[in-house]
């Protein structure tokens, strides 16, 4: 969330809506103002703690995250994506729930994971790509120390996604073998 004037975030989101643009709200760092912005977000991306504060529902895993996300959708958010750290992310859409598992990486520092997730999501939305792109971006950010130095480049995200896809294809071939 912006540190601008009290109404800066509401103005930006409202103006985006007025102009027919997709709006994305990451409520971090969580402030009370975020509760008033939920209905202006096409995509709302709180972590577990932020989800609890926004929805008033205790989040202790995927099931309670889904209940909280549904509560936030009922307050006007388009799609709610609850980031669940090592458990990945859970998206609650008009069509139902979508799980994006975390990609296995050697975690060094999670400082920029949320920022990386939101950046990856913004790129994915702009290019009509899938939620795992955002998860891969966040996973890679956890493999290095610091905030800005840990943010991955596109080619690194695509390499991780490609390696994961190749591993899943090998596993599926093994399962299909007689």
pLDDT reading at 9 higher than 80: yes
Out of 95, 109, 115, 155, the active site residue is: 115
Joined together, the tokens standing for residue 120 give: 């990856």
How many Cβ atoms from other residues are within 10 Å of residue 39's Cβ?
14
At 163, the pLDDT band (50, 70, 90 cuts) reads: confident
Provide the percentage of residues in the chain whose pLDDT is more than 90.
73
Instruction: Give percent of the chain with pLDDT exceeding 70.
Output: 88
- pLDDT of 172 strictly over 50: no
pLDDT of residue 130: 78
Q: What pLDDT score was predicted for residue 173? A: 47
d(CA 50, CA 69): 11
Is the pLDDT confidence value at 32 over 90?
A: no
115 catalytically annotated: yes
3-state SS assignment for residue 47: strand
Count CB atoms within 10 A of the CB of residue 76: 12
On whether the CB atoms of residues 108 and 144 are closer than 8 A, the answer is yes
DSSP E strands in the chain: the ranges are 24-25, 43-44, 79-83, 89-93, 96-100
Which token pair is 36?
């008033």
Token duo for residue 74 = 């009922």
**Which pLDDT band holds residue 169 (cuts at 50, 70, 90)?**
very low
Q: What is the pLDDT of residues 93-146, one digit of tens each?
A: 999 999 988 888 999 999 999 999 999 999 999 998 878 889 999 999 999 999
83: tokens are: 């980031």
Rounded to an integer, what distance in angstroms lies between the CA atom of residue 11 and that of residue 160?
Answer: 37
Residue pair 164/170 in contact (Cβ under 8 Å)? The answer is no
């Amino acid at each position: 969330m912006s540190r601008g004037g009290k109404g800066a975030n509401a103005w930006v989101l409202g103006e985006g809506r007025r102009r027919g643009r997709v709006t994305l709200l990451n409520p971090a760092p969580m402030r009370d103002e975020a509760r008033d912005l939920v209905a202006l977000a096409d995509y709302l991306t709180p972590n577990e703690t932020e989800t609890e504060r926004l929805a008033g529902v205790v989040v202790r895993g995927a099931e309670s995250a889904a209940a909280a996300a549904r509560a936030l959708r009922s307050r006007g958010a388009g799609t709610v994506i609850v980031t669940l750290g090592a458990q990945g992310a859970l998206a609650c859409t008009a069509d139902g729930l979508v799980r994006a598992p975390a990609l296995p990486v050697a975690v060094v520092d999670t400082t920029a994971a949320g920022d990386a997730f939101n950046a990856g999501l913004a790129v994915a939305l702009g290019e009509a790509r899938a939620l795992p792109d955002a998860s891969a971006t966040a996973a890679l950010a956890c493999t290095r120390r610091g905030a800005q130095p840990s943010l991955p480049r596109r080619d690194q995200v695509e390499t991780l996604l490609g390696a994961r896809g190749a591993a899943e294809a090998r596993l599926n071939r093994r399962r299909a073998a007689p």
